[in-house]
Each structure stands twice: as structure tokens, then as C-alpha cells.
Structure 1
């Protein structure tokens, strides 16, 4: 694999500044990587090569003049196809969508572009982000970079696969129940779901009242850098340094301050969730690594989650109602084009009565309050990101059709959470999930960085990929 495409954003920017790397050279390498690999894994649904190369040339000119636009000038970034990017259609993975190109960027994308990043392609998603694998009627299935017989997870699978395989170091994705963290876990990369609404989502990306925009990257520092850019309203275009806006938060500041003295709860297996032993062992090692760095790690059953799992319907009720609402506004002919999984979800939502929906919202409020009290006692919480490995392509097994047990509750409570690779289970990557209190994004990233540094470099997928022959899919 070309070493150039595996450089992270910070390394690229350093190379541009020192004039040892060229934005044009980097973009050419990334586009070449897409050409070589994407026919196998199907991570992209749209690429703008001409626009990308033009933007890279402009970035190179700015670096040569010593006037970079911002802290990401010349860095390629892909964007999940639920988020608007000027010059691309936003298809949502749906045959019901319009192929008309967007006239302007979503605000988060506009901030990335203003910082110099180059949005060069749209990544695949399940239809409207409805499930934890990445397949849809419009673009088909996306495959895992470590084993192409398997799913990379979803619904941001295209973003995770692109980053894992060097098809750009950064991707902007969405998470409504685990859609950033799950594919990050199964693809061996970092996924960060910020505190709810910290990153501006706009109406299109937040219509479920559960979804949040966040980065998928190869390391924690890049995630912090992207978050800083997307939450900052005014970046000085010449220096790339924060302006005077009160909204500025530099999530890279203090990133290497470590975890000494932090109170960290470790939940090996929340009530009612069976964690595969190999995954539990990897996450336990991560907890031990943080303890060795000076954190006070205490094993906890996280009592509020026992009630969440005991009921089990809080997330699924809301999720189905929101999709029913989405489908209700479609023409009858369009509804027949929907993914059968999405149609079944919407049909289930149609059957939810007002009292049941209100109960789910009240339960959401109660869980949020209970977790706020929990985080008065602890600074952070560690859990596995997912309880098992990825399913085969195509399809989603019935056992995985419920709300993702370890991730969806963070969307209910609006808490920040990161998935960081912590080892291999059955030959495939798995992740530790680090969760903080609302607004504690910087601390989550700091702990993720501390663990990442102690763990050392994580392997990357092999240089060659083979698409399984028909009938040779992996078995569940």
C-alpha cells in the first residue's frame, strides 16, 4: 500500500508546511487508491476528481505562498451521503432521492472547507442511515476492509472503510445509534460521536432528534482537529489559528495530558448483554492500560443501564416513529422503492400509539438524568463498542435488528463517545468505547489519546483485497 495515503492529517499538514509534501501529490494518491480498491469494497457513491484536483492545486499555491487557508488546507475529506456537499447530490442511499446537485454545503462541511479541507467524495450509507450495516437499494453493499465477505458495519460504513484503506485520512459521518462507532470498531479506525448538537447538523442530518455529526479518522489527534474545526465559527484564513470568537474550543489543547487521577468506571458486560469473550478480553486490557497510566479504574454495573436494557424499547420506539414520519411524507410510488428493512421499520412506527411514544420520551429523560448523576461519581465510562463481530454481506441477521445495545443509549442521553481500536477478536478489529458526561468531549478525546499512545500503532488492512466469488459469502 502506498505509504503516502496512510499518513494522517497532521502529518500531511506538516509536510505541506515544510514543502516535503504536495497537496496535488496527495490528492492524486488518494484518488488512485479509490480507483484501485473501491470496486471491491464500495465505500464511495460519488467522486469529483476534477474538482478535487483543482482544489488541491489551489491549496498547493497557498502553501507555496506561505498563506494556508486554515489548519486542514489541502487535506482530503470524504462526507457520508446523508450530509450536503455543494456540487454533489445528497442521495441518502435511496432510490427515492433527487439526483440534483446541492447548491451549498451543510454548515459542518462549510467549516471544513473554510479550514482548507477538500471534500472530494460522498461515502455509502444504509438508506437514510436506518441500520447498522451499510447496504441500500441505491448503491448496494459495502464490504469490510479486513475481510470482504463481511460488513464493515453501518450506517457510516463507507466512511470507515475509506479511512481504513487510505482513501482519504478524514471522513465526516453521522451517528444516530452507533453509526459512527460501530463501523469504526469493525474497520479498525477511530470514530467519535460528539455531545448532541455540538457539531451543527442542520435539518437534513438531525431529523431523528438522535443523530449527531462526527469524524471518523485513523487516530485520535485527527478526530480532535476535525472537531475543533467543525465547532469553530471563525478560523483566520491566513494563520489557521483561532480567532477571537467565544465559541472556539481547541480540542487538541491538552490532548496529551493523560489520565492520571481520573475516575473511570469500567463495565465489562452491561446487564443483559452477552459480550463475546475475545472482545471482553481486549476491552479489559484497555481498561488495565488506563489504570497503568494512573487512572482510578473501578468495575461497575452502571445501574441506570440495567433499566434501559430491561425495557429495551426506548430507542426502537423512537427510531421507528421517526422513520414512519419520514415515509409518511413520501408518495406511494416512492414507498415501494424503499429498502425492505426501512419499510418494515416505518411500518412498525405506524403502529406506535401516542402513549407508547410519550413513555419512550419520558424514559429517555429519566435515563439522561440518571447518567448525569452517574457522571458526578465518575469522569468516564469504558465499555466494549459492540458485543460481537460483523455479520456477513449481504443482509442483517435477525439477532442484530434491535437497537445496538452498547451504543444507542449514548444517543438517547446525548453523551460524547469514542470508539478506539483495542485489539483483534477472531482475526478482526474490535474497539473500546470511552464515554463522558455531556460537554465532556475534550476529556473523552484525552483519554482516547492516552490509551492510543499506550497501545501503540494499530495495524492497517492488507494491501490487496479480493471480492468473494458468488456463493462464497461468510456464514453468520
Structure 2
């Protein structure tokens, strides 16, 4: 980090931990940083459409109060004055949470913070706005009739992935160093891989949620950042339990910054380039992730190529997902149903075909997968895989192809298994394609091994720093 930053444009590219240091030394103020972030939005978000709602007045008020606290030497938390965005599936007091859907009116009282939003606010974070999501977070592309197409900062013709595509695009483009996303089948890790940032799906229940997702116990909340250190800082704030979430884990007193730089020497690491069933991995993705696995060897890890030994659980993941869509669909009026994304409507109809016996079978098979992975991880500290099997593809509007299990998740076979098993997993950039598009490595930990995943990601980041896209084509 340079010793002094006066360039407002450069402030937008600072990591959260850099900003806190600048605040501490008086080299920049939260008000200056908020101005820089909104200035960046003015320049690039007209093209990217990462945000669906901005709150410049609320952010300025919060940044002004934070500036005063820093000047007085009384910051209230580890993220005091740091700009943060919240995915539009997560309740945020004073801002509409439309869940990417025209069926939800913006003009109504928004008086409650979800647990994660409340924790960030209490830590002094400056909440700048809500990031775009497909309707109800229903797919791994960020497009919807409500907000249109969210585009990739590395190449605006390409998709961000989804459903946290707005969060990933915002962080990669310097529109706030932290974004909170959700992940029900890869929705943090997929866009992190395609947009070139770090995205963490914590162990299920580690970050409390309220209201709980209609898609059930596959849905996790976690951070997007451009630094593993930033993600650890965020996790320290948002991992506190909340009584509103009866599935949240007991309090974890561990400071995720402690031991973050301990490296991976001596760790037992499984490397699975296909999980045993992914047959269509792009050659550049395969090559880059293999190099990343070899980097773990260079760092002293004991790496073994091995598959966990399960068949593709795509039908389990999409079956449970389609069932959730059918439940949401039945809570809408006919007038609201007519407004929905054709992809969501198609998912709901697929969910309508599931019998009670089908659903019970999905749950039993999911349980068997979870048991298998608990046993497999008994022999390893970490599992490495590609994050996504292909680079970012063209950004296309909602309904551009028929919705089924393959079109929804078939191109992302490495993500959804670990929602079913509830394990912590992250995506970290591990290179670029010949076309200059990011490639992600997935690091999976044992259940409750969130700190281990962060530690491994930090070790890899020390060898392969996370690059930023060239935003000049967007200006």
C-alpha cells in the first residue's frame, strides 16, 4: 500500500484492511472513500449494472459519523468506515429488498436488518446499496426482467455468473471492497470465479440468516472481497449467532485473523480435477487449476490426486431447488406469477412434478452424500477442485434457453455438491485464460473448517496475488 493516497480514483481500489490503516493514520477518511466509491459507480455501473439500489445519502451520513469517530480515535468496530454492499436477497433497513423480482413492491416499509446486515452496521460499515440478483436468486446467471443484465468487469460482453453476480462485479470493479452474497448452489463461488475475486461460502449456519431461504438448508451467506485478509475480517463480524435463525451454529470465539498466515506446510490435501464425473472442463481451466494444485506442493502441502467417490448429485441439488421454487410460486397471486422471470416460472413447474416420495428420496440421498464427505474429509485437511468448469460465457437475457437441470447448473459441477454437504468452500483466482478471463480454484474444507479454508486461501494468495480488471474499456 502506498504511504499516501490522495487520488480519489485509487481509493476505490483499496482493500478493506488498507482503508482501515489509512483511517488509522489519517491519510484518508471514510467520507473521502465513500465519495471515491460512488465516483467509481458513476463511471462504470451504467454498463455493469451491479447495483439495483444505491443509498448515497445514507452512506454519506454513515461515512461522516465514521470520519468523526476516527478523528477522535474511537472507531466502533473493525470495519468502521469501510464501504459494503448487500445482495438484494438480504433485508437491509431503509432500503428495498425486492429479491430481484417485480412481484415485490419497493414502496413499503423496510424497517428490519437481517442478522448479517445488523452485524455489519454495528461494526461501523458504510452500507452503500443493494446488489443485483436474478429473481429470488434462482439461477447462476445474473439477469432478470426487473434489473436486466449484470455484466462482467473483465469483459462487459460476458456474464458475471450468479446469483451473487452483482456482488462479485461490484467488488471486482472497485465499487466497495466488501460485498455480501448468498450461495445455494454456487452463487458466491461461481461469480467469484468468473469475475476474479475471492468468494467464501462458510459452513452452513456459521453466518446466521433470517428469514431463512425458501430453498432450504443449502443456502449460505458469505463475503466477496479482493483480499483473503478482508474476508477473514468480515467473517469475524458476521459469524455471530442470531436467535432468529434456529439453524445457526453456536458462537465461534475464534479470531479468523489468528493463524491466517500459518501456511499449508504439512497439510493433507486432496486434488480432484473432475470430482470423478465432470467431463467437460475447459482445457485452460484444467491447466490453471492443476498449476494451482502444484503450487500447494511447492508450499509444502502433501497433495494427492484422488476423487471423493460420489456420482454427480445434480438431480439432488436441482430437485430440492425446484421444490423451493414451486413453494415460492404458490405464494404468489396469478397477477404476480405473470410478472415472473420465465426461468423461475419454469423451475417452479419442474418442482410441481415432484411427489412426496421423490422429495424424501432426495433428502435421503443428500444425507448419504453428506456422510460420505464427512468420512472422506477425515483423511484430508482440504480438497482442491476447479471452481467452475468454464470461463465466463456471453451475458444473455432471462429466458434465453429452456430451463432444466443441465442448463441451470450443468456447467458448474464443482459447486453444488458442497451446498448439499454444507461444507465451507471458497473460490480464489488462479489465472487468466488466453482471452483474459479469470479462472477460479475451489478450496473445500471439512465441516466447520472455515478458518482452515481461509488459511489455505491466504497461503495461495501469497504466491498468486489477486489481479484487478482493466476498467478503461468501461469508461
Q: Contact 1:233–1:248 (CA<8 Å) still a contact in 2? A: no
Q: Does 1:251 align with 2:253?
A: no
Q: Aligned residue for 1:348?
A: 350
| SS across alignment from 2:155 | coil
Q: Does 1:43 align with 2:50?
A: yes
The 2-side partners of 1:206 and 1:10 are apart by 35
Q: Aligned residue for 1:55?
A: 62
| SS across alignment from 2:221 | strand
The equivalent position to 2:462 in structure 1, one of 449, 453, 463, is 453
Q: 1:205 to 1:360 in 2, by over 3 A?
A: closer
Q: Aligned residue for 1:288?
A: 294
Q: Aligned residue for 1:239?
A: none
- Cα deviation digits, residues 251-279 of structure 1 (max 9, x gap): 11100000011000000112231211110
The equivalent position to 1:441 in structure 2, one of 450, 455, 460, is 450
Q: Contact 1:83–1:205 (CA<8 Å) still a contact in 2? A: no
Q: Aligned residue for 1:266?
A: 271
TM, length-normalised to structure 1: 0.92
Query: How far 1:247 sits from its partner (Å)?
Result: 3.8
Q: Contact 1:419–1:431 (CA<8 Å) still a contact in 2? A: yes
The 2-side partners of 1:343 and 1:459 are apart by 38
The 1-side partners of 2:356 and 2:149 are apart by 35
| SS across alignment from 1:89 | coil
Q: Contact 2:154–2:471 (CA<8 Å) still a contact in 1? A: no
Q: Does 1:216 align with 2:224?
A: yes
Q: 1:162 to 1:246 in 2, by over 3 A?
A: closer
The 1-side partners of 2:187 and 2:386 are apart by 15
Q: 1:181 to 1:127 in 2, by over 3 A?
A: same
| 5+ long unaligned stretches in structure 1 | 235-244, 468-476
Q: 1:189 to 1:22 in 2, by over 3 A?
A: same
Q: Aligned residue for 1:162?
A: 170
- Cα deviation digits, residues 69-117 of structure 1 (max 9, x gap): 1000000000000001110010001010121241021111100111111
**Aligned ranges 1:111-126 → 2 under 5 Å:** 111-126=119-134
The equivalent position to 1:279 in structure 2, one of 256, 277, 285, is 285
Q: Aligned residue for 2:327?
A: 325
Query: How far 1:246 sits from its partner (Å)?
Result: 5.8
The equivalent position to 2:157 in structure 1, one of 145, 149, 159, is 149
| 5+ long unaligned stretches in structure 2 | 1-7, 243-249
Q: Aligned residue for 2:439?
A: 430
Query: Which has the larger displacement, 397-406 or 193-202?
Result: 397-406
TM, length-normalised to structure 2: 0.92
Q: Does 1:192 align with 2:192?
A: no
The 1-side partners of 2:31 and 2:474 are apart by 29
Q: Aligned residue for 2:247?
A: none
Q: Does 1:15 align with 2:15?
A: no
| SS across alignment from 2:92 | coil
Q: Contact 1:40–1:465 (CA<8 Å) still a contact in 2? A: no
